[in-house]
Structure 1
Amino acid sequence: MIDTSVFQGKTAAYFTLGCKLNFSETSTFGRMLQDMGVRNAAEGEKADICLINTCSVTEVADHKCRQAINRMVRQHPGAFVVVTGCYAQLEAETISKIDGVDLVLGANEKASLIQYLSDAWTQLQSDSETASDGESLHRHYSVKTKDIKTFAPSCSRGNRTRFFLKVQDGCDYFCTYCTIPYARGFSRNPSISSLVEQARQAAAEGGKEIVLTGVNIGDFGATTHESFLDLVKALDGVEEIKRFRISSLEPDLMSDDLIEYCSRSRAFMPHFHIPLQSGSDAVLKLMHRRYDSALFAHKIELIKKYMPDAFIGVDVMVGTRGETPEYFEETYEFLKRLDVTHLHVFPYSERPGTAALRIPYVVSDKDKKLRSKRLIELSDEKTQAFYSRYIGQEAEVLFEKSTRGRAMHGFTRNYVRVELPAAKSSDDLDNQLVMVGLGGFNHDKTALMCEILDR
């Protein structure tokens, strides 16, 4: 039982690191606290509650998490500090010892975050001695990976225009470089019917676009014996939602039938994000990836066959153990040939406890930077060439809220980013689908300039 009265009039501050899934979950927690009478702390205002949702995809991410926790403790002295997320699952006890931290919740406990917060808060308030000397609780709760069973529903937009619907959590793949299965647990998902209901609720709140998020969303159905294609078809029937987008989808789980269905669906956009990690089959084997470059190329070719205008983003990891210069060149040439739009490039980071540490060949930091630079330059070339194809055309754009007095941005159906000059922007364009004429590039070539064709 949660006593909401103790939270009335309190303030909260939030900080999120990592993926879209984390941002969606934080937004959901924020909404739940708001329903209990907690308001967001204004800029510069000291919060009563601080929530930090952490990431642990790289060693750099771990460092940023520690920095964020310490910064929140300094900025909000005396606040009740809660830490959750992937880093919290992997290093719960260590984080709990940080000065100012009261409560650390792992992946299984995160689903009951509000209950844990309520119990700890109530006890802290009733313990006058602890409350008076300002000591933190330093409590931590987490279970082993095999015991992570809960699923925390999330469908929220926070300060964004688009809604993010969590359809799956966890991963069974255990790639050699990755700690995410240990941080998130094994693959699990809610029912299709529950997700359809959440999509309808988002529509009732004014949502027009939903992004499907998760850790390994193509593995949807592991819990309920349904399939990801079944989910896509069901959501396509929620006619109040005008656009759906699919976040990162493993190539071996992207069925040909799914690609064909998306090409003729009512609301699923011609936009895909597919992790490649390496274009070298030798490196893919070292990573324990479940596909080869031929399968990946087939998926790209099939998407372009059915949807020639599709935007295709690709994750690429550089400098992983075992990636010799020759193997990197294989990746570069493979990507150069592929008809993809954007490369999300990130350097390999050593993760304690991963199988990759047993691979003998180590890439220097200098070479990682050089390889990253080459791929980023290749990405820029591909993205700008893709955008150039649409200059002079008309397109439907969903505009997103902007700071007053600044340019507005939005995205076409196939994820071309557009910019509307500040002089022509207005609040009533936020979350509206509008026909625009596409002009040339903006100053930094991150978007195409546009003009409104109808209002």
Structure 2
Amino acid sequence: MYSSKKVAFYTLGCKLNFSETSTIARNFTDEGFERVDFSETADIYVINTCSVTENADKRFKTIVKQAQKVNPEAFVVAVGCYAQLKPQELADVHGVDLVLGATEKFKITDYLNDLSKNDHGEIHSCEIEDADFYVGSYSIGDRTRAFLKVQDGCDYKCTYCTIPLARGISRSDELENVLNNAAEISAKGIKEIVLTGVNIGDYGKGEFGNKKHEHTFFELCEALDTVEGIERLRISSIEPNLLKNETIDFVAKSRTFVPHFHIPLQSGSNAILKLMRRRYMSELYTERVAKIREVMPHACIGVDVIVGFPGETEEHFLETYHFLNEMDISYLHVFTYSERDNTPAATMEGVVPKNVRTKRSKMLRGLSVKKRRAFYEGQLGSTRSVLFEGENKLGYIHGFTENYVKVKAPWNPELVNTLHTIQLTDIAEDGLVRFNFVNQTIGAV
């Protein structure tokens, strides 16, 4: 039916969005569409949106203009979190033809009866309470690793977050489906799987608001560790209160799970954590990091932190800065707080001026650079395993060690998607790590 039609995709936001874009793309190819790059001429452009930051909102209009510049007659579809939260806002953007909400995005080809341009964007969007079923997905094709979705939605009520409004209640894939998807990924020759979801530590809750956990996140990890052909499994972001000691101990002795954790903190001040309605205090976070360091001293630990939350005084910020400075972590993801409609935080007192938010963000990003450098320096001389990526970047090939040290070597296509044992030697001018191959004839780098 669509054999002569071309479709292109653009993904904003998180790893979960990337996995879902891939699944939507496979639906298109199953219908006979040819997938092309977003910079190429296509009949349909699909933009998977994000609502986490104000910047992601603004970028949407720019991306629509990009598509229209390439093909003014193309049919433009918006899906994803922003499309669920503010469908009318997206439908009003010039050039947008179709906006699909949380439950509709996986049935996108059902809405493509007529690809002629519309004067106004057509909206098909459910009430978020209706998003109570689960659609599994994973991303493959353009990388040496796959993002495997195991969970969706969130039951937490953090005061700054729109995700529960955009994605609905916490629900999980069945264990058998996750294992089948992992086996499919393995069969395609992909060496690494990154587990992703909105709140993956909450894995196990069934559909339709069923709060009973069929399986725990720990049991999911145990089962995935037995999938043949997968060399590495990486846990994406996991809440500190849901990262249990049994999981940390398991990763330490696992066959495939790598020593890399990304654990959201958001603030090092307990007063701010309470305003955010986070489910832990800073003391628990300290315990989690200490536990990881006890069983995996070489582990990489990444941290999410939000600056400029309403009520964050200079003292609160410095409390966060010193908390992170003194902790044995490896890098930071710094988010500058931005007001989101329909969240409690948007109406809180103590609004932090934008210029102060920017200054605090800059300070923490500077701290992140120092932390990453110190982590890399601490790894020099050690023997690690590296998985090489598939892109030639200015004559170099890049890769990541199991504990997330980014390394570089002169471009060699034979290295793409291969694992090698290396010894880390020194840090290059661009901050990446150089190495020697161990017991191989490929030679020193």
Classify the TM-score, shorter chain: over 0.9
Whether the 8 Å CA contact 1:24–1:158 is kept in 2: the answer is no
Does 2:424 match 1:438? yes
1:417 to 406, 421, 426: 406
* 1:172-251 alignment, distance < 5 Å: 172-223=155-206, 225-251=214-240
Name the residue aligned to 2:365.
Answer: 376
* 1:280-319 alignment, distance < 5 Å: 280-319=269-308
List per-residue Cα deviations over 1:57-96 (Å, max 9, x = no partner): 0122111123222332333211121110000001112222
2:319 to 315, 327, 330: 330
- 1:168 is displaced (CA, Å) by 0.6
Q: Check 1:373–1:147 CA distance in 2 against 1; reply closer, same or farther (3 A cut).
A: same
Most deviating of 351-360 and 289-298: 351-360
* 1:38-437 alignment, distance < 5 Å: 38-41=33-36, 45-116=40-111, 121-122=112-113, 124=114, 131=116, 134-136=117-119, 138-223=121-206, 225-403=214-392, 406-421=395-410, 425-437=411-423
Q: Secondary structure at the match of 2:97?
A: strand
- 1:37 is displaced (CA, Å) by 2.5
Query: What 5-or-longer segments of structure 2 have no aligned partner?
Result: 207-212
Whether the 8 Å CA contact 2:331–2:369 is kept in 1: the answer is yes
- 1:312 is displaced (CA, Å) by 0.2
Q: Check 1:43–1:100 CA distance in 2 against 1; reply closer, same or farther (3 A cut).
A: closer
Q: Percent same amino acid at aligned positions?
A: 47
- 1:157 is displaced (CA, Å) by 2.2
Name the residue aligned to 2:437.
Answer: 452
Whether the 8 Å CA contact 1:110–1:152 is kept in 2: the answer is no
- 1:230 is displaced (CA, Å) by 0.9
Q: Check 1:393–1:258 CA distance in 2 against 1; reply closer, same or farther (3 A cut).
A: closer
Q: Secondary structure at the match of 2:102?
A: coil
Name the residue aligned to 1:128.
Answer: none
Q: Which amino acid aligns with 1:400?
A: E
Q: CA RMSD in A?
A: 1.6
Q: Check 1:95–1:402 CA distance in 2 against 1; reply closer, same or farther (3 A cut).
A: same
1:136, 1:80 → 2: CA distance? 12
* Paired residue total: 434
List per-residue Cα deviations over 1:286-305 (Å, max 9, x = no partner): 00000000011000000111
Whether the 8 Å CA contact 1:317–1:346 is kept in 2: the answer is yes
2:323, 2:230 → 1: CA distance? 37
List per-residue Cα deviations over 1:378-432 (Å, max 9, x = no partner): 11111111111222332210000112762001111111110012xxx22221110
Whether the 8 Å CA contact 1:345–1:376 is kept in 2: the answer is yes
Q: Which amino acid aligns with 1:40?
A: R
List per-residue Cα deviations over 1:271-297 (Å, max 9, x = no partner): 000000000000000000000000110
2:40, 2:218 → 1: CA distance? 46
Q: Secondary structure at the match of 2:32?
A: coil
2:418, 2:173 → 1: CA distance? 30
Name the residue aligned to 2:31.
Answer: 36
1:178, 1:260 → 2: CA distance? 31
1:299, 1:286 → 2: CA distance? 22
Q: Which amino acid aligns with 1:102?
A: D
List per-residue Cα deviations over 1:142-188 (Å, max 9, x = no partner): 12222212322211223111011001111111211111110111111
Whether the 8 Å CA contact 2:76–2:95 is kept in 1: the answer is yes
Whether the 8 Å CA contact 1:111–1:150 is kept in 2: the answer is no
Whether the 8 Å CA contact 1:111–1:151 is kept in 2: the answer is no
1:353, 1:433 → 2: CA distance? 47
2:379, 2:95 → 1: CA distance? 52
- 1:44 is displaced (CA, Å) by 5.4
1:363, 1:405 → 2: CA distance? 41
Query: What 5-or-longer segments of structure 1 have no aligned partner?
Result: 126-130
Q: Check 1:196–1:42 CA distance in 2 against 1; reply closer, same or farther (3 A cut).
A: closer
- Runs of 4+ in structure 1 over 6 Å off: none
2:163, 2:400 → 1: CA distance? 30
TM-score by length of 2: 0.94
Whether the 8 Å CA contact 2:152–2:172 is kept in 1: the answer is yes
Whether the 8 Å CA contact 2:135–2:173 is kept in 1: the answer is no
Q: Check 1:250–1:404 CA distance in 2 against 1; reply closer, same or farther (3 A cut).
A: closer
Q: Check 1:75–1:222 CA distance in 2 against 1; reply closer, same or farther (3 A cut).
A: same
Q: Check 1:264–1:300 CA distance in 2 against 1; reply closer, same or farther (3 A cut).
A: same
Q: Secondary structure at the match of 2:171?
A: coil
- 1:364 is displaced (CA, Å) by 1.2
Higher helix fraction: Structure 1 or Structure 2?
A: 1
- 1:136 is displaced (CA, Å) by 5.0
Q: Check 1:146–1:362 CA distance in 2 against 1; reply closer, same or farther (3 A cut).
A: same
Q: Check 1:45–1:345 CA distance in 2 against 1; reply closer, same or farther (3 A cut).
A: closer
- 1:439 is displaced (CA, Å) by 2.1
Most deviating of 402-411 and 305-314: 402-411
